[in-house]
Amino acid sequence: MKIPINLASQPFQRVRAMTLASLAVCCLLAATLGGLIWLILADRAQMADVRQDIDRLNREIVRQTAEQARFSAVLNQPENAEVLERSVFLNALLYRKGISWTRIFSDLEKTLPYNVKIVSIRPSLDSANQVLLDMTVAAEAPEPEIQALLALENSPLFGSVLQHSSIPPTQADPLYRYRLTVNYAQKP
């Protein structure tokens, strides 16, 4: 058996530094993998609590929906339908009666500039039982009207303003007129 020793065909290579660096990188990657696995397990344990809360809330929603359906079935019976319709009508009347004209004018007086006149005002209720004021305001120049729009929008009692139309002055009526709708949150 002959052992070939030929240094010219297989020269000596220095790979110890590369091997140590590769080993250090592998250890660092293994430590990172261990950290990521630990984070995944901790997150999974935390999510289990959240899933339990969601399941509990979903069961509560199903229970409440079933109870609501049972109550609706009782209310929709023919003998109860008339009482339900009358109570809805009376509640709507009471809510409309609760809109105070004195309070509306007082709040508008505090909010609008002195040189803006209210020509007409019509309160109404939308589907969410919020008060909407359909108003026509007038002034001798457009600037007070713009100040009035800004004052209404910046007031905590009034919400967004929707301007429907504007009418310039005529020979018969020397005022600029603006028709607008504004949300009104009447304070008790």
Q: How far apart are the first and last CA of the chain?
A: 110
With left for phi above 0 and alpha for psi between -120 and 50, is residue 129 left, alpha or beta? Answer: left
Q: DSSP string covering 30-85, please? A: HHHHHHHHHHHHHHHHHHHHHHHHHHHHHHHHHHHHHHHHHHHHHHTSHHHHHHHH
pLDDT reading at 188 higher than 70:
no
Average pLDDT, the chain: 83
Q: What share of the chain is helix, strand, coil (3-state, %, to 5)?
A: 55, 20, 25
**Where along the chain do its domains lie?**
17-76, 100-184
The CATH architecture one would assign to domain 100-184 is 2-Layer Sandwich (3.30)
Query: Strand, coil or helix: what is 7?
Result: coil
pLDDT tens readout for residues 150-183: 888 888 888 777 788 878 888 887 888 888 888 8
* Sequence-ordered list of residues with C-beta below 8 angstroms from that of 62, at least 6 positions apart, any chain: none
d(CA 51, CA 126): 39
Q: Is residue 30 very low, low, confident or very high in pLDDT (cuts 50, 70, 90)? A: very high
Q: Is the pLDDT of residue 144 over 90?
A: no
| Beta-carbon count within 10 A of 159 CB | 16
pLDDT computed for residue 71 by the predictor = 87
CA torsion through residues 134, 139, 145, 147, sign: negative
Question: Residue 125 and residue 92: Cα distance in Å, rounded?
Answer: 9
Q: What is the pLDDT of residues 52-106, one digit of tens each?
A: 999 999 999 999 999 999 988 887 788 877 777 888 788 777 766 667 778 888 8
Indicate the range of 57-66, 119-128, 140-149, 176-185 predicted with least confidence. Answer: 119-128
Name the amino acid, one letter, at 56. Answer: R
Q: What Rg do the C-alpha atoms of the chain give, in angstroms? A: 38
pTM of the entire structure? 0.48
